[in-house]
Amino acid sequence: MSQKLLRHKTVFKRATSHIRVQSSPLCYAFCYCHQVCSLDSVRQVKQEVMIQHVCSHHPFIAPLTHFWQTRKLLIIMTEYIGYGELHQLWRSLGRLPEQLLSLYVAEIALALDFLHNAGIIYRDLKMENILLDVDGHIKLIDFGLSRWLTYGGHTSTICGTLQFMAPEVLKGEEYGHPADWWSLGIIAYSLYLGHYPVSGYDDHVT
């Protein structure tokens, strides 16, 4: 990439990474992952990059544009989708109109079906991980908890966001791709009725 990029702002920070917005004149989001963390964390980030790279051509998955690795950093470049999260829209509108609800649920379902058929389980489907683009369509982001899993296979790691986790995940039992569909059901319920099925679970499990 030869064009010059202008830094705008840092939009997100965590212990091992941060995200900046830069333009050229198009806007991009850069995730800078510090490789001073554990080897397992580095492997997880690299798996995240490969999964998003494989899925970037899908219309409802945020495209990964480039990625680089230096001695201290793994840099992930994606298209900047600056029209907010589905969660923000839901909070501002409350119950979504049925036509809009149907559109979003259908687009999320298409993205999930694509991932599952590609041998990937997402594992952290929630409204905060769904962005809206300039045309009002969804873009699935953040593949940090995703992993390769053969269709019909099982895993047992407890991870995700409590409000959206399937019962078998919470119980520490083996689970597979259907756990993602449970999460979509929670999203559809919440968008339609204006509240979560069960209140009081905003904590994250990693």
Active site residues: 124
Q: Report the chain's terminal Cα–Cα distance, integer Å.
A: 34
What's the token pair of residue 97? 């109109």
CB under 8 Å to 131, separation ≥6 — which residues? Answer: 62, 81, 83, 84, 85, 86, 138, 139, 141
CB under 8 Å to 35, separation ≥6 — which residues? Answer: 42, 71, 72, 73, 74
Helices 178-193/98-117 angle, 10° precision: 170
DSSP 61: B
Of 80, 27, 161, whose CA–CA distance to 170 is shortest?
161
DSSP letters spanning 128-190 = GGEEE-TTS-EEE---TT-EE--TT--B----EEGGG--HHHHTT--B-THHHHHHHHHHHHH
